[in-house]
Amino acid sequence: MPLDPAFYGYLVSCATEAQATGIKAAFSRAESLINIDDPSALFDLWDSSAASQNSNATGDNREYASIRVDGSKYQGVGDAQFQIQDTTGLIDINIAHRDVIRAQLRQLQVPESELQGYINKLEDYIDENDLHRLEGAEAPHYHQQEMLPPRNANLRTPQEINKILGWKKLSKHVNWHAFVENLTVHGEKTININAATRETLLANEKLSAEKIDEFMIRRDKKSISRFGEAAAILGNSLLIGGDYKLVPGKNFRITIGSNDEKIKQQFLLKMTPLENNAAPWEILWYNPSPNKSEITLQEQREKIEHVRKTAIPFFG
Ligand SMILES: [Ca+2]
């Protein structure tokens, strides 16, 4: 399902509109989508618009002509639904400012006095050396707890956060899954405010939940094209420091699942349209069961088999 030639031959804007147009054009040529009876269909573009969570009372569906990359849910074929999330709208656990992680930990009711300990254990897990910080943890601390030592490298998946000493006990919190769901390891320090989740915006403690909700309602109507539009709602503090941008990055998390959300799988796609002799994207990461932080291989196999049998139509 190639993109139009212009996407390969020229540098094109990576604005939401240009990417959406390119993807839409590519999908419109896909054999599996043209032939609606083809069981390998990715998803049903014709019937999906009305089921989008962004449907409005006026019946105006012009917005639905583009596939949004802000995690909006779309109805697929049969019992499947899907979401596309630009990863620059999520929080990158490896590189995000530590104040952002602190804000997230506060949402999990971590007491103020324990915040730095969590941050230091995270830093020790990632950094190359074996020198532990105050309240941090390196290999000897992990051995004491009969845990595998820290990898001393960036996390490879958001779920790896469970392997950091002490962090697993947070998994009992009712908001834990939402917290992990909002993390990525393929993001950027600069957040795309057009695709940022509510949780990501809340991690900026200068912004109130009320203003964020107002902003998201405004954004659902039409993408923000100038920072001034965002600042009019969120205030000027948003613009300081250059931590925000208006366009997507290269990586997109695709979530496909059943309508009752009991079955869910995720892919991380990196768009690579300008790389020679390469497909327009590559899959960086696949998680057959993001709802569970740790499942056995057997459980994974059963899950995948179940997904196959219930015919969630993805990659045949
Ligand atoms: Ca280390």
| pLDDT tens per residue across span 69-123 | 999 998 888 888 999 999 999 999 999 999 999 999 999 999 999 999 999 999 9
Q: Compute, in angstroms, the gap from residue 152 CA to the centroid of ligand 1.
A: 5
Query: For residue 314, which of 75, 40, 100, 114 has the smallest C-alpha distance?
Result: 40
For residue 162, pLDDT over 60 is answered with: yes
Distance 84 CA to ligand 1 centre (A): 34
Contact in structure between 270 and 284 (CB atoms under 8 Å) = yes
Residue 55 has pLDDT above 60, yes or no: no
Average pLDDT, the chain: 80
Given a cut of 70, is residue 2 above it in pLDDT?
no
Average pLDDT over residues 17-42: 56
Q: What is the dihedral of CA 305, 309, 314, 316, to 10 degrees?
A: 100
**Å from CA of 178 to ligand 1 middle:** 27
Average pLDDT over residues 53-66: 48
Query: Which strands, in side-by-side order, build the sheet including 70-75?
Result: 70-75, 80-86, 251-258, 264-271, 281-287
Among 30, 57, 58, residue whose Cα is nearest residue 46: 30
pLDDT above 90 for 125? yes
Average of per-residue pLDDT across 29-56: 43
What confidence score (pLDDT) does residue 281 get?
84
Average pLDDT over residues 163-179: 93
Residue 229: pLDDT over 70: yes
pLDDT range class, residue 48, cuts 50, 70, 90: very low
Is the confidence at residue 316, as pLDDT, over 60?
no
Report how far ligand 1's centroid is from the alpha carbon of 132 (Å): 7
For residue 164, report the distance from its CA to the centre of ligand 1, in Å. Answer: 11
Give distance in angstroms: CA of 154 to centre of ligand 1: 10
Sign of the alpha-carbon torsion through 305, 309, 312, 316: positive
In this prediction, residue 32 carries a pLDDT of 47
Whether the predicted pLDDT of 313 surpasses 60: no
**Residue closest to 7 by CA, chosen among 289, 310, 281:** 281
Q: Kindly list the domain boundaries of the chain, sorted by start residue.
A: 5-67, 68-95+174-316, 110-172
- 34 has a pLDDT exceeding 60: no
Distance (Å) from CA 299 to ligand 1 centroid: 32
Find the 186 Cα to ligand 1 centroid distance in Å: 21
* Cα→Cα distances 140→116, 131, 144, 146, 160, Å: 20, 10, 6, 10, 19
Residue 310's pLDDT band, with cuts at 50, 70 and 90, is low
Which pLDDT value is given to residue 41? 35
Which neighbouring-strand residues pair with 191? 244
- Helix locations, the chain, DSSP H: 6-9, 16-29, 31-34, 45-48, 98-107, 115-126, 139-144, 176-181, 198-202, 209-221, 227-234, 297-309
CA of 124 to the centre of ligand 1 (A): 4
Separation of CA 134 and ligand 1 centre (Å): 13
pLDDT digits (tens, 9 = 90+) for 257-299: 888 877 888 989 998 877 777 778 888 888 887 765 445 556 6
For position 263, what pLDDT does the model report? 80
Q: Which two tokens stand for residue 213?
A: 């909700």
Q: What is the Å distance from ligand 1's center to 73 Cα?
A: 39
∠ Cα 34 40 41 (to 5°): 45
From residue 259, how far is each of 80, 133, 210 by CA, in Å? 6, 45, 29
The residue ranking higher by pLDDT, 47 or 167, is 167
Radius of gyration of the chain (CA): 21
Q: In this model, does residue 301 exceed pLDDT 90?
A: no
Pairing outcome for strands 91-92 and 183-184 = parallel
Contact 93, 184 (CB under 8 A): yes
At residue 11, the 3 state secondary structure works out as coil
Summarize the confidence of residues 237-266 as an average pLDDT.
82
Choice between 97 and 305, residue whose per-residue pLDDT is larger = 97
